[in-house]
Structure 1
Amino acid sequence: MIRRFLMGLGLIAAGQGVQAACGGPEDACEIEGGSYHIELPRAETPPLVVFLHGYGGNGAATMRNRAMVDGLLGRGYAVMAPNGSQRIGSNRGLSWNFYPGWEGRDETGFLKSVVADAVDRFGVDEGRVMLGGFSAGGFMVNYLACAAPEAFSAYVPVSGGFWRPQPTECNGPIRMLHTHGWTDNVVPLEGRVLGGGRFVQGDIFAGLEIWRNVNECTDHKPAGFSRNGDFMHRRWSCGADRALEFVLFPGGHQVPKGWADLVVDWFEGLPGS
């Protein structure tokens, strides 16, 4: 593997990770259909967090969120930030082709391919891969989980759910931790109308009902509540091979400080992880 070769030569970055042969800010790893950025921890066969940028962003900008990236690297997780696609008919930057009926890249196929490429190039653990994303990336996470729940080990969206009309059914089961800001006014908890009424963001709690049904949770009411600093948790009892947890924090439209530890602690507490 390239990663092991670099480690043997001592070509290790000054920070918490191993210097990859591609995937840095200026030299994304290219595959058919797109590209991605990646940083690797000082570990053999590390688990991986794939994190999808928001509307108009890119993977290089995601990797500049050092609080998130260094937090994950420090816990032994590789971090990947794929680049979104240019939606057909739009010139307003990169995003994700998640909305039903849109034409463009097959994002599920692309994201499976970037993980397979990272497994081959860098030796990440294909059996422990979380898919996360912020805003438009969070919407993409939900739609991919709905269509292909087996594609990733767990789903950890931030500030993104479904759009209306929301799916009438999804495949499952899934393991999901959804994080959202209490004062988010870009993707409000209740949703909002965009484009003169052409698009309507869905209600986050209505989306959680979809996931409770998919996971065959025992009740609508949470099975437990907890608080960890600013993070307020509510979780549902859904069986050993599935999980659903919702976390609110007091901020707005952002990836909150401490998110890296939040998702790793949750993931490593799941059976079989």
Structure 2
Amino acid sequence: MIARLATLGAVLILGGLSFMGTAPAVAAPVDPPGVLTFGNLARTYVLHVPPGPPAGLVINLHGAGMTGAQQAGLTNYNAVANQFGFAVAYPDGIDLSWADGRGASIPDRSGVDDVGFLAALVDRLSRDLAVPPGRVFVTGLSAGAFMANRLACDRADLVSAIAPVAGTLGTGVPCAPSRPVSVLAIHGTGDPVVPYGGGPMVGRGGPSEIISAAALAERWRQADGCPGPFIAQTAAGPVQRAAALGCGGGTQVELVSIDGGPHIWPAAMDASLASAQFFASRA
């Protein structure tokens, strides 16, 4: 009798498991800090969070051949970010570069979706850090500047303002933003890598054809619906400024030209402070 009861109990238990279905599925692994899995790739980034609740989020994109950590060191952006209460993320590009649309980099030629990756990173960090709506900004150097422009062109819904340094757009890269975006473009007139006047260039990944710094500013002026032409601002040494004001949605477009400036994060002006001030003014 006892054996029969034991057998019956086993049948009932097994039957209950069968009735309830298979064991619950194991939850998908959660990315560790500094990692975002996107497109089946574990993408990495360095994150700086200021004291207190962030007043905004800056995505700071490195140049070709660099890492996010190196971009953080080069720009010293954490210090100015703390002044304005910004969180800053420094993502790493595949093969130390970006798929910015020119077709001159390995990620571009491999079909990497960097627009999608950066959009996903913005979404995650905005949610996790409770970033106020409309307070996401992007800056970058060289290839990072090309990528900043492309991201704003394709996902203006996520980005309020950009500050590309020493980078424009490829001649074949479309730019039809869904809404106005404020732009502070900074470029040295003596840049031997990304020519100020546009035309052919050869970067780490290979050759490409690019638009000039002035053409980039004009493209954004038209996209933002600015009512008038660029107006020269007060010059300071080698730094020349021209701005288009009163643009759609309260945006503005400014071109900062550094006379004779080379291909660097500029020393003739504090590009980190200038871009952070520009972002902070985009209330």
CA offsets 1:87-133 (integer angstroms, 9 cap, x no match): xxxxxx32111115644222122112112222344444453111111
Give the drift of 1:168.
7.2
Structure 1 147/39 Cα, relative in aligned 2: closer, same or farther at 3 Å?
same
CA offsets 1:178-237 (integer angstroms, 9 cap, x no match): 111232111111124246995222222122222122112223x31351335654321013
Does residue 45 of structure 1 match 2:70? no
* Alignment-mate amino acid for residue 153 of structure 2: C
Matching of residues 1-273 of structure 1 within 5 Å: 29-33=34-38, 34-65=43-74, 67-85=76-94, 93-99=95-101, 102=108, 103-165=110-172, 167=174, 169-194=176-201, 199-219=208-228, 221-227=229-235, 231-237=239-245, 238-250=247-259, 251-257=261-267, 258-270=270-282, 273=283
**Gaps (5+ residues) in structure 2?**
1-31
Q: Higher mean Cα deviation, 75-84 or 222-231?
A: 222-231
- Asked whether the equivalents of residues 138 and 148 of structure 2 are also in contact (C-alpha less than 8 Å), the reply is yes
CA offsets 1:43-73 (integer angstroms, 9 cap, x no match): 2133111111111211111122263332222
In 1, distance between residues paired with 2:171 and 2:248?
Answer: 29
- Asked whether the equivalents of residues 139 and 160 of structure 1 are also in contact (C-alpha less than 8 Å), the reply is yes
Equivalent residue pairs, number: 237
- Asked whether the equivalents of residues 166 and 263 of structure 2 are also in contact (C-alpha less than 8 Å), the reply is yes
Greater C-alpha radius of gyration:
2
Percent of aligned pairs with the same amino acid? 30
- Asked whether the equivalents of residues 146 and 172 of structure 1 are also in contact (C-alpha less than 8 Å), the reply is no
In 2, distance between residues paired with 1:242 and 1:66?
Answer: 25
Cα RMSD of the aligned pairs, angstroms, is 2.6
Structure 1 39/169 Cα, relative in aligned 2: closer, same or farther at 3 Å?
closer
* Alignment-mate amino acid for residue 53 of structure 2: E
TM-score norm. by structure 1 comes to 0.77
Higher helix proportion (structure 1 or 2): 2
Structure 1 218/46 Cα, relative in aligned 2: closer, same or farther at 3 Å?
closer
In 2, distance between residues paired with 1:145 and 1:78?
Answer: 19
In 2, distance between residues paired with 1:269 and 1:120?
Answer: 22
TM-score norm. by structure 2 comes to 0.74
Structure 1 47/229 Cα, relative in aligned 2: closer, same or farther at 3 Å?
farther
Give the drift of 1:28.
6.1
* Alignment-mate amino acid for residue 76 of structure 1: G
Q: Higher mean Cα deviation, 151-160 or 120-129?
A: 120-129
- Asked whether the equivalents of residues 61 and 145 of structure 2 are also in contact (C-alpha less than 8 Å), the reply is yes
Structure 1 143/75 Cα, relative in aligned 2: closer, same or farther at 3 Å?
same
Q: Higher mean Cα deviation, 98-107 or 127-136?
A: 98-107
Give the drift of 1:39.
1.0
* Alignment-mate amino acid for residue 202 of structure 1: I
Give the drift of 1:161.
0.7
